[in-house]
Amino acid sequence: MAREKILIVDDEEDIRALILAYMNKEGYKATQATCGTEALSLARSERPDLIILDVMLPDLDGLEVCRQLRSEFTMPVIFLSAKSEEFDKVLGLSLGGDDYLTKPFSPRELVARVKAILRRSNTTAQPASAESSHILRFKHLVIDIRGYEVTFKQEQIVLPGKEFELFAFMALNANKVFSREQLYQSVWGADAMGDSRTVLVHIRHLREKFAPYQELADCIKTVWGIGYKFLLDT
């Protein structure tokens, strides 16, 4: 029985066919795109639960596709790329990617990463108590955990999936200090295939998005030598 929908974006037919075979074997409903323009069109019409996105595409590259997607959607994105330099990985994550896998890759590892990301997306922590079971309210700030929405003074702030999950986790545990490693384990999971430097990228990106809002700009605080905490007047 088909479960979540996966969009596979790669201009190499052999790679698409390989990924498609493995996704179908796992019961996912997979569709394919050969270029960035087609990927954006399918993302808008099919609303996939996750996108596997090649960086090097013949028209719009994967980074630009991700940038445009993030202005509209929050579904997870796994980058595939022949580029293995740390800068390329950090750039992909900073643009809203949730994971980055270097070619040549193991299809089984890709499946494991897809499962891990979808599992975490479907089991985002819920607040233990609040006026609603899925709404967090602070001063001028509202976080809708089920809807993956953040509003500040009634203005929506669009956050990609993993940025939202990191921010929501810290808000659920307001004023509690977490190390970088603890945040990575809590948000990405113990079975995640990456490292805690991902947390630095996402926190930097969150701070950039909050910077225009004076009262929100400093809500993620650095506790030197330990880690980070969320603190905002209620």
Question: Does residue 43 lie within any of the structural domains?
Answer: yes
**Which CATH number goes with the domain that contains 189?**
1.10.10.10
Q: What is the mean pLDDT of residues 42-47?
A: 93
127 part of a folded domain: no
Give the chain's mean pLDDT. Answer: 85
Assigned domain for 15 exists: yes
Query: Do 93 and 198 reside in the same domain of the chain?
Result: no
Which residue type is seen at 194?
A: G
pLDDT at 70 over 90: no
Lowest mean pLDDT among 127-136, 140-149, 221-230: 127-136
Residue 227 or residue 88, greater confidence: 227
Shared domain check, 114 and 10: yes
Percent of the chain with pLDDT over 70: 88
pLDDT value for 96: 77
Q: Does some domain include residue 224?
A: yes
Tell me if 220 is assigned to some domain.
Answer: yes
Domain count along the chain: 2
Q: What integer pLDDT is reported at residue 131 of this predicted model?
A: 41
Q: Which domain holds residue 210?
A: 135-230
pTM score:
0.58
Q: Is residue 73 part of a domain?
A: yes
Q: Considering the domain boundaries, does residue 105 fall inside one?
A: yes
Q: Are 178 and 113 members of one domain?
A: no
| pLDDT digit string, tens, across residues 167-182 | 988 988 888 899 998 8
Does residue 147 sit in the same domain as residue 87? no
Contact at 8 Å (CB) between 113 and 193? Answer: yes
Condensed to tens digits (0 to 9), the pLDDT of residues 211-222 reads 999 889 999 999
What digits encode the pLDDT tens for the residues 80-99? 988 766 666 777 777 778 88
